[in-house]
A and B are shown apart, each in its own frame.
Chain A
Amino acid sequence: MKHPNFVLWLMAILVYAFLYIPLIVVVVYSFNDSRLNAEWVGFTLDWYGKLFRNEEMLIAARNSLIIAVSASVLATTLGTMAGLAIHRYRLKVLPILAFTPVAMPEILLGVSLLLFFLQVLNMTLGLVSVIIAHTTFSIGFVAIVVRARLQGMDESIFEAARDLGATPWQTFRLVTLPLIMPAIIAGALMSFTLSIDDFVITFFTKGVGEPILPIQIYTMIKIAVTPEVNAVSTLLMLLTLALVMLATRFDKTILHGR
């Protein structure tokens, strides 16, 4: 069985084709000089031009960026703490709190946060509520990456630092932190990507005022599909592609499932 057989290869190629063809189609049509996503008419950059003159789209992109940066900073800080704490101490409640939002259907988190923001906090939904919502589900992802990194490490390093007289803070700053840094950076990039991408939770916690990228895309898809959607999709794909490549470069454990 050292040489996987022909059938296996054929099926694998078909699956890869299934994964990539739809995305290639979107990219190709973003350069098509036609309002319809049907025949190839000719090459154009018009849809990109239209996109960059679309005021609301630009505001949406800016808002999404603000949300993603804030949420990933918060989630990385809290998620790193959670990952360290869960790895180091026998905690019962924290793992449940951190990992359940990752595992449950997104719609449940979206709905419960909507109720909480409106009923209990009585707040106006907007960028802040979306930032909080994104942080809530990203903490678990960061914690998983950080914990995975810690699990692969030799505990004796920390003992050695302690034996040499380092305080817990010194041990953390000089030994633990540099060692888990790749996981922290990977976690940060991951939570940024999750935030920029998220549709479901954003949909429930966004309110009405501020345009946000995924919601803008959703409205375009539902109301009037123009190749402008293809253009914005292509740009977003490039961005997340770069981020994921970067994240996997920093921490290979991401490749082995979450």
Chain B
Amino acid sequence: MQRRNMMKWLISLPPMLFLLVFFAAPSLIMIVTSFRYPGEFSGLAPLSASDIVSGAPSDLYGLTLETYQFFFSDTLYAEIFLKSFAVATASTLICLLLAYPLALLIARSDKRHRNLMILLVILPFASNFLIRIYAWMIILGPESALNHAVNSLLALMGLPPVMLLFSPFAVLVGMVYVHLPFMILPLYTNLEKHDPVLLDAAQDLGANRWQRFWRVTWPQSLPGVFSGTALVFIPVLGMFAVPDILGGTSDILIGNLIKDQFLGTRDWPFGSTLSIMLMLAVIVTAGLAAWLARPRAAASSTST
């Protein structure tokens, strides 16, 4: 028993310490930073009370709620958060629409082919993240065949030409492209476990193709749908590279806002506040997904 205990500490302590120092502590620092004052030129104002620029009496050790007040005082930030949610929702729905048929097909394919088909989903996703975004710069770019085709079609219909690249459309395409495998994999993992006997039973009882899908397959697959949704929605919410590369100047999302506070204007406290708001949004989303996934999985056999 003594030995077992020693073993326990021997293997759990090193990763624990590393993560406490390089994950837990930085997260706490970020929370504290959000309550501090920005420095005059960059970074942070010192903590000692005498150096504070705007030494209001309510200040406690150089801490303030100012950044949070600022966040809520300007509707611009609420708008960007809403826009990010809209982009994340749209990306998730498109991913679901594209992923479901493929996941279903793979799950119902011959066992020998399944691994290859899934590998074919993972492979493009293993290539560099920036390269996958960059590829769309070529495809949607002003010189591309697609751009020419779309614009000559528009001209035929008497409509003004459009720019595909640097548009909200390009951002959405990029988001879907980068995150699609995150939807396919959990869906496949779920669909693969379904018992085909249930579908046969439904057929014997006279259910048509649609009824079999909506009343047998779909309810059973909801846990997969919810975990895929979380895996797409959460990273899209914080993504800055896709709008940065494929979007126009007005296609700013939360991630771009945060990036600018740290590498552009250098207002660390406000950047931290934005990050915490993003974290809260993520926690709410993940909590919702977990909550939705749980009871339905158990109830699906009795309800609907």
Contacts and interface: CB of A to CB of B under 8 A. Distances in A.
Contact of B22 (A29, A136, A222): A136
A199 B240 CA distance: 11
Contacts, number: 257
A105 B134 contact: no
Interface string A68-99: 00000000011101101100110101100110
A77 B125 CA distance: 25
B14 A168 contact: no
A39 B25 CA distance: 52
B131 A105 contact: no
B129 interface: yes
A113 interface: yes
A257 B123 CA distance: 13
Given A82-B12, A85-B8, A106-B238, A18 B120 contact: no
A200 B304 CA distance: 43
Interface stretch (B53-61, B74-82, B255-263, B294-302): B255-263
Interface of B: 3-4, 6-8, 11-12, 14-16, 18-20, 22-27, 29-30, 33, 43-44, 98-99, 101-102, 104-106, 108-109, 115, 118-132, 134-139, 141, 143-144, 177, 180, 185-186, 188-189, 196, 199-200, 203, 212, 234-235, 237-241, 244-245, 255, 258-259, 262-263, 268, 271-272, 275, 278-279, 282, 286
A221 B130 contact: yes
Contact of B137 (A97, A136, A204, A221): A221
Interface residues of A, number: 92
A37 B143 contact: yes
23 contacts: A12-B105, A26-B131, A36-B143, A38-B144, A77-B14, A79-B15, A82-B12, A88-B8, A88-B11, A89-B8, A91-B12, A94-B12, A100-B23, A101-B23, A107-B255, A109-B23, A167-B3, A203-B259, A217-B130, A221-B137, A229-B134, A241-B127, A257-B185
Given A15-B102, A19-B180, A94-B12, 8 more contacts: A19-B120, A23-B127, A115-B29, A118-B43, A119-B29, A143-B15, A237-B127, A244-B122
Given A85-B12, A168-B3, A244 B115 contact: no
A243 B57 CA distance: 59
B93 to A, nearest CB: 15
Given A36-B143, A112-B275, A217-B131, A12 B119 contact: no
B67 to A, nearest CB: 14
Nearest to A28: B138
Contact of B275 (A22, A111, A198): A111
Contact of B139 (A19, A25, A82): A25
A109 B199 CA distance: 45
Task: Rank and list the top 5 A-B pairs by shortest CB-CB distance, nearest first.
Answer: A105-B238, A22-B135, A116-B26, A38-B143, A85-B12
A197 B51 CA distance: 43
Contacts of A198: 129
Contacts of B272: 111, 115
Contacts of A97: 15-16, 19-20, 23-24
Nearest to A78: B15
